[in-house]
Amino acid sequence: MYNVVTALCLIALVSIIASTVLRLCLSSRADRLKYLKNFKKGKFALIYIAALPLYYIGYLYGGTAPGFAILDSVKSCIELVVLKYGYSGVYALMTDNLFYRVTMDICFALVAVNAAIFTATLLYQYIYNYFKNFYSARFAKRVIVVFGSDKGSRDIAASASNAAVIIACAEPCGDIRDFAYILGAACVRVGKGGAKGILEKHFKKTGGRELDIIVNTGDDKTNLIYTEQLATFVGGAEGIRYSIDDRRGINVYVFGEPENAGAFLHFAESSNGLVHYVNKYKLIATDFIDKYPITQYMGAEHIDFEHASIKDDLDVGIVMIGFGKTNRQIFLSSVANNRLIGFKDGEVVSKPVQYYIYDRKGARNDKNLNHDYYRYLYDYDPDGEYLPLPEKPAEERFFVLDINDPEFYRSVKENLTPARGRRKYSYIVIAFGTDMENLDLADKISSKIKEWGLSDSVKVFVKIRSAELAEKVIDSEYADEAGFVTFGKEARCVYNIDSIMHEKHELMALARHLSYALAADNDSESEEAAKEKALSAWFDQSRVQRESNIYACLAIRMKLNLMGYDHAPESVPAPDASAAFYSAYTAGDPIIYDETKPAVKGRRIVKYTNDFIENSTRGILAKHEHLRWNAYMLTCGFVPQTLDEIRAGKTKDMTLRRHGNLTTYEGLKEYRRIVAEERGCSEEETDVIRYDYQLMDDVKWILATGGYKIIEKAM
């Protein structure tokens, strides 16, 4: 009997320890953490329960009465917890039975192992966190530090692949420590030294490493305090700027609400591009405009592909329900990009998009709109002498109506219905409340669209913040059946490291800038010196200048749509249609390359003269690009320079937000004549129209820098 009990206890002891070790070694981080927590809560005691029968038979063999043997066995097991190996009571059986003695020796050894594991469970997360932080701060080639611990910050940390992640927050609680451990990240406390204190401790010298810092604490005051500290830090550390070829040094990305943008932009402008202001609503708007330009669902019945223009009898409108931070930014981004043209009597004519904006309060009264978009209407000298003034880029009407108002549906229907003899094509963008409120209205609006017989001419878009709700519930079948499209999934387009740091249009714009700058640089002794000079010029530009190039790349998709094409990632199986595109694009107006100059970063150099063929497809899209640029600058609050200022050599002032090129296409010809006359040079040297050609002339190369290709548009 003694040997049978001993054997069973031995099997139990070994099984308990072996299973514990295997669970710790083979489980995922999440399962391991769960097991460790359960181990601390009581599973560690299993080995002592398994040891109980061993003591019991030992005491019985030594002559102890059964009742007292149970009590003595319990007492001995309790003493084992503190590694007090009492064996005097079982000495007789150990002496007479070798198998029992070996089993007891193994029991004592396994108890020590169990105690060590228990101790490790108490300290394991702290030890792991210490070494993870030490490695990240000292050795990792790429480090991302996220200041903040809310869901958005956790999504950012989780999206960072191929990087060591450090999560920094004011009070790292057990929840965020668990998240960091499961993610494989380090977690540190922000002390009295603030954000600067953490970086001074670990990252005073970055060497050849990449350090990217994301500030998203959820409180703009704290974000701004950290921004000031980090701007000071990056100014004194080895903050090497980055290129698309070689990311090194320090970059800071700071979230802030749009109503507080001015304070954050102060540090962004003064840090030479190392501090970046992140407006989450602009990320949502950019993602929306990229995926759903106003031309995305248009076909041959809407577009004159031969002239890259909207058909004359078609009116285009966007109904916006809610005019909070999301729709306000979508409005501005849409005005700056969805700039449409027609072609009438052999000439390009403007076709402004009509915006119908619904909100239950007077949404037009907004300090940001007044400072930027409406400045052109109220803040230039009406008595001044100007080049031909650009037209207002959009037509907007505001409706102070609650969605529950009896007039709401009647008003929406009226603005979606075409006038007699006209046709209409419209978007509806819903972003006024919670995900569930937005979803409910999208369902009702979609039903109304069908009831009104407008399904073929109206597309409904609804903002859903939760990616899980959108992807697992709505997008699977619900949205298609109801007839709407979701957008604004924050985990995908906002709290995602690629959206924040590797935005594709910014990479395209930067590659374009580098190529143009390298081609024009005749002074640098080496390509590396020329690249550093070009990068310096990129970051020394104002935010508006950089964003102007980014928005130009964002507008490529709509321009392709106007010719019956689209772009897609290289990985998409659709065939490359760039040859067919260029054949149509250059018909009757070929691109003349300068064969005396080598390609720069793979881009062939185009030879421009002032002999433009204005009504070719190239010429039409160049005029379209100038209208789009005008629209972007007007949304940023720029106004035209006066003729006196242009004659005096003040062609632009980025601080005072004035620009001499804010004029019509014909005005650009007058601009180059005036400037050439004042400078005593040729008009070819002062021409700026050629810059409106560059975007589509180089479009294949630009898209390739972002991993895209031209394809035929699905109709």
Is the pLDDT reported for residue 327 higher than 70?
yes
- Higher-pLDDT residue of 15, 230: 230
Instruction: State residue 37's pLDDT score.
Output: 58
Q: What does the pLDDT average to over 478-493? A: 90
363, 372, 634, 635 from 375: Cα distances, Å: 17, 6, 8, 9
Phi, psi values for residue 544, rounded to 5°: -65, -40
Q: For a pLDDT cut of 70, what percent of the chain falls above it?
A: 79
Confidence of residue 21 (pLDDT cuts 50, 70, 90): low
Instruction: State residue 543's pLDDT score.
Output: 84
Q: What does the pLDDT average to over 119-132? A: 70
CA–CA gap between residue 674 and residue 454 (Å, rounded): 51
230, 242, 256, 508 from 504: Cα distances, Å: 26, 15, 22, 6
Specify whether the CB–CB gap between 515 and 600 falls below 8 A.
yes
Confidence of residue 414 (pLDDT cuts 50, 70, 90): very high
Lowest-pLDDT choice from 69-78, 363-372, 463-472, 545-554: 69-78
Lowest-pLDDT choice from 89-103, 118-132, 543-557, 609-623: 89-103
Phi, psi values for residue 312, rounded to 5°: -60, -35
Cα Rg of the chain, angstroms: 34
90-122 b/e with 16+ CB inside 10 Å = b?
beebbeebeebbebbeebeebbeebbebbeebe
What tokens appear for 337 in the block?
Answer: 């990009």
Instruction: State residue 616's pLDDT score.
Output: 94
CA–CA gap between residue 446 and residue 591 (Å, rounded): 46
Give the other-Cβ count within 10 Å of 344's Cβ.
Answer: 12
What are the start and end residues of each CATH 3.40.50.720 domain in the chain? 140-277
Specify whether the CB–CB gap between 618 and 624 falls below 8 A.
no
> What is the tens place of the pLDDT at every residue in 188-220?
888 888 888 888 777 766 666 788 899 999 999
CA–CA gap between residue 144 and residue 486 (Å, rounded): 30
Instruction: State residue 378's pLDDT score.
Output: 84
Instruction: State residue 136's pLDDT score.
Output: 81
Q: Residue 610, SS3?
A: coil
Instruction: State residue 273's pLDDT score.
Output: 73
Instruction: State residue 96's pLDDT score.
Output: 62
Give the other-Cβ count within 10 Å of 157's Cβ.
Answer: 27
Q: What does the pLDDT average to over 548-554? A: 93
Instruction: State residue 6's pLDDT score.
Output: 63
CATH, range 279-360+401-502:
3.40.50
Question: Domain 140-277 class?
Answer: alpha beta
Q: What does the pLDDT average to over 481-503? A: 90
DSSP-H helix ranges across 435-567: 435-451, 467-469, 479-482, 490-493, 497-501, 504-520, 527-540, 543-554, 556-561
pTM: 0.85
Instruction: State residue 93's pLDDT score.
Output: 60
Instruction: State residue 42's pLDDT score.
Output: 46
Q: Residue 190, SS3?
A: coil
- Higher-pLDDT residue of 18, 237: 18
> What is the tens place of the pLDDT at every residue in 647-683?
998 999 998 999 999 999 999 999 999 999 999 999 9
Q: Residue 212, SS3?
A: strand
Q: Which of 564, 623, 613, 565 is nearest to 591 (CA)?
A: 613
Q: Dihedral, CA atoms, 603, 605, 606, 607, nearest 10 degrees? A: 180
Q: What does the pLDDT average to over 161-177? A: 83
Place of tokens 């002794």: 525
Which stretch of DSSP H or E encloses residue 705?
Answer: helix 699-705
- Higher-pLDDT residue of 33, 514: 514
- Higher-pLDDT residue of 115, 618: 618
Is the pLDDT reported for residue 34 higher than 80?
no
Instruction: State residue 625's pLDDT score.
Output: 96
Is the pLDDT reported for residue 379 higher than 70?
yes
Averaged pLDDT score across all residues of the chain: 84
Q: What does the pLDDT average to over 297-319? A: 95
- Which residues are CB-neighbours of 537 under 8 A, at least 6 positions away? 513, 517
> What is the tens place of the pLDDT at every residue in 572-605?
999 999 999 999 999 999 999 988 888 888 889 9
Instruction: State residue 210's pLDDT score.
Output: 83
- Higher-pLDDT residue of 181, 494: 494
Confidence of residue 113 (pLDDT cuts 50, 70, 90): low
Q: What does the pLDDT average to over 377-399? A: 89
> What is the tens place of the pLDDT at every residue in 131-164?
888 888 778 888 999 999 999 999 999 998 888 9
Is the pLDDT reported for residue 357 higher than 50?
yes
Is the pLDDT reported for residue 114 higher than 80?
no
Q: Residue 342, SS3?
A: strand
Confidence of residue 404 (pLDDT cuts 50, 70, 90): very high
Q: What does the pLDDT average to over 468-493? A: 89
